[in-house]
């Protein structure tokens, strides 16, 4: 009851005209930032941080947090319509969302993404309000071994991310790890795989790789088969809304995705990208029709979008309760707190009660604002697919390259984007899964640093990964994720032998 009373005071703070306007502006800016490839919520918050100087702390944080979760909604639009993930967490949405768009179901994909994000987001904020004091301490139980095993679990689920061969998916994950190793060794400071090129000393950024593989690669492949694409992009507005069958297929996907996203969001440093990919893998295993994944599964879109929005809001728990950023965006928010003269940490909830509960209440309001903005716009954006692809392609290429340039203001990044665009095109030609590459690049830094820290703590003994209950459970999950594809293959072969026997 005390929590409800505090939340009531939070709504009183959030519903003041200035704070309500700040929440709306944050959500709107987040939408645009999510649409633009290469920016993302963390960079968007950092760029707009100066305009909050002189603004009351609660108002500033409501706007900045609106940018953070608003970007999750915005990234869906370009992922579905042009297969360019506007935000890193929308990569898995692009895998099936764009296939649905080609089948004339862009509106359904955008609708279920908005509704799934809303349900999972509101659920996550409700848990944030009621469980923040309790669950905040859970994040402290994770140490280097747990982070390494969590990252490894993300990589081994690449067998689920690929709609074809498991070995191909794992091979692409290894390729992604090699790409991620380019740059300077974080511990020794020595260059590795840079081939003497100074521009590579900082490594290869995630955005050029993702935009190249998913955006430019798709454009090149689509232009090659442009006559086929023309028939795909014609769609009727009356076919864009969700049916009862769609709801039945997606309701559990939203629940599972939201749950996975919330749990992953609690873990500092993991973030919505990992959450959406793990939710996609979980849904693939839970689905009665896993063969549809990668070919236009509406429940896959629902799971991925529910997870990324839930994870973003859950990441506020370790930030507010412990002063530990749960994601890149919350790290920037943490910096904003310091700049606003507020000391983050366990005492924040008591010393700045009005600010914290006002922020939580504004997140409820922000999710309502976003679904009101997104649902009516779904048919409008889906109708844009009536434009012939030959006219859309140059615009997509320009947006992709500008987004890559905006990350570092370097033309070298543009060259990297084009290079990986060609690789993405070849991957499509040879039917190689693209998602595992991106997943590996995202997880590699966490995986490498936590592995090396773990071995330093144990003086080189790998037993450290089995000594703690949480790490032992994660280790068992890694082994299970590796064994399941082999089990499925044996099962299929056994069924094949039975059929041959009956014939």
DSSP symbols for 1-39: -HHHHHHHHHHHHHTSHHHHHHHHHHHHHHHHHHHSTTT
Residue 407: predicted pLDDT: 64
User: How far apart, in whole angstroms, are the C-alpha atoms of residue 267 and residue 249?
Assistant: 29
Residue 162: predicted pLDDT: 47
User: How far apart, in whole angstroms, are the C-alpha atoms of residue 147 and residue 253?
Assistant: 26
User: How far apart, in whole angstroms, are the C-alpha atoms of residue 254 and residue 75?
Assistant: 18
User: How far apart, in whole angstroms, are the C-alpha atoms of residue 340 and residue 348?
Assistant: 13
Q: Which stretches within 51-165 are classed as H helix? A: 57-82, 91-102, 106-135, 144-156, 158-161
Residue 227: predicted pLDDT: 44
Which of 269, 308, 285, 246 minimizes the C-alpha distance to 90?
308
Q: Which helix (H) or strand (E) holds 192?
A: strand 191-192
* Average pLDDT per consecutive 10 residues, the chain (503 residues; last block may be shorter): 71 84 87 68 68 78 84 76 70 80 77 82 79 58 80 69 66 88 86 86 80 78 58 47 76 86 75 80 80 80 85 78 66 72 66 76 84 70 60 74 73 88 88 78 82 89 87 86 74 61 55
Token duo for residue 109: 């994909």
Residue 380: predicted pLDDT: 61
Provide the whole-model pTM.
0.63
191 φ, ψ (degrees, to nearest 5): -75, 150
Which of 30, 33, 39, 35 minimizes the C-alpha distance to 406?
39
User: How far apart, in whole angstroms, are the C-alpha atoms of residue 125 and residue 147?
Assistant: 24
Residue 16: predicted pLDDT: 86
Which of 47, 1, 90, 4 minimizes the C-alpha distance to 364?
4
Token duo for residue 3: 């929590």
Residue 384: predicted pLDDT: 56
Domain ranges of the chain: 2-141+208-427
Residue 234: predicted pLDDT: 44
Token duo for residue 66: 């609106």
CA atoms within 13 A on the CB side of 397: 16
Q: What is the greatest pairwise CA distance in the chain?
A: 79
Residue 419: predicted pLDDT: 92
User: How far apart, in whole angstroms, are the C-alpha atoms of residue 136 and residue 155?
Assistant: 27
User: How far apart, in whole angstroms, are the C-alpha atoms of residue 104 and residue 73?
Assistant: 21
Handedness of CA 317, 318, 319, 320 (dihedral sign): positive
């Amino acid at each position: 009851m005390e929590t409800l009373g505090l939340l009531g005071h939070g709504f009183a703070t959030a519903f003041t005209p200035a704070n309500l306007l700040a929440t709306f502006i944050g959500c709107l800016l987040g939408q645009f930032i999510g649409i633009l490839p290469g920016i993302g919520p963390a960079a968007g918050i950092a760029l707009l941080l100066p305009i909050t100087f002189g603004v009351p702390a609660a108002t500033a944080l409501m706007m900045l947090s609106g940018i953070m979760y608003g970007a999750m909604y915005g990234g869906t639009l370009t992922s579905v319509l042009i297969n360019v993930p506007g935000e890193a967490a929308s990569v898995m949405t692009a895998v099936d969302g764009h296939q649905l768009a080609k089948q004339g179901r862009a509106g359904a994909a955008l609708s279920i993404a908005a509704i799934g994000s809303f349900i999972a987001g509101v659920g996550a904020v409700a848990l944030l309000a009621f469980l923040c004091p309790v669950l905040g301490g859970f994040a402290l139980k994770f140490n280097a071994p747990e982070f390494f095993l969590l990252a490894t679990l993300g990589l081994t689920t690449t067998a689920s991310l690929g709609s074809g061969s498991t070995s191909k998916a794992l091979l692409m994950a290894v390729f992604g790890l090699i790409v991620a190793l380019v740059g300077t060794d974080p511990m020794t400071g020595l260059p590795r795989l840079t081939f003497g090129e100074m521009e590579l000393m900082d490594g290869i950024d995630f955005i050029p790789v993702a935009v190249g593989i998913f955006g430019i690669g798709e454009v090149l492949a689509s232009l090659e088969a442009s006559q086929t694409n023309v028939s795909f992009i014609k769609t009727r507005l009356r076919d864009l809304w969700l049916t009862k069958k769609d709801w039945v297929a997606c309701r559990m996907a939203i629940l599972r995705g939201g749950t996975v996203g919330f749990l992953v969001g609690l873990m500092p440093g993991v973030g919505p990208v990992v959450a959406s990919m793990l939710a996609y893998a979980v849904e693939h295993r839970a689905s009665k029709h896993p063969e549809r994944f990668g070919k236009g599964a509406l429940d896959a879109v629902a799971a991925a979008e529910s997870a990324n929005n839930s994870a973003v809001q859950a990441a506020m728990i370790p930030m507010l309760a412990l002063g530990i950023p749960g994601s890149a965006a919350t790290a920037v928010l943490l910096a904003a707190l310091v700049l606003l003269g507020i000391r983050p940490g366990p005492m924040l909830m008591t010393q700045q009660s009005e600010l914290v509960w006002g922020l939580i209440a504004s997140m409820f309001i922000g999710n309502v604002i976003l679904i009101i903005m997104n649902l009516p716009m779904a048919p409008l954006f889906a109708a844009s697919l009536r434009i012939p692809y030959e006219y859309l392609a140059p615009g997509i290429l320009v947006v992709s390259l500008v987004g890559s340039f905006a990350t570092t203001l370097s033309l070298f990044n543009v060259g990297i984007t084009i290079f990986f665009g060609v690789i993405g095109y070849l991957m499509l030609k040879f039917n190689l899964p693209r998602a595992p590459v991106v997943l590996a690049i995202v997880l590699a830094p966490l995986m490498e640093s936590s592995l090396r820290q773990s071995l330093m703590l144990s003086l080189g003994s790998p037993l450290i990964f089995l000594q703690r209950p949480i790490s032992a459970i994660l280790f068992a999950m890694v082994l299970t994720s590796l064994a399941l594809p082999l089990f499925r293959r044996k099962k299929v072969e056994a069924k094949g032998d039975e059929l041959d026997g009956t014939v």
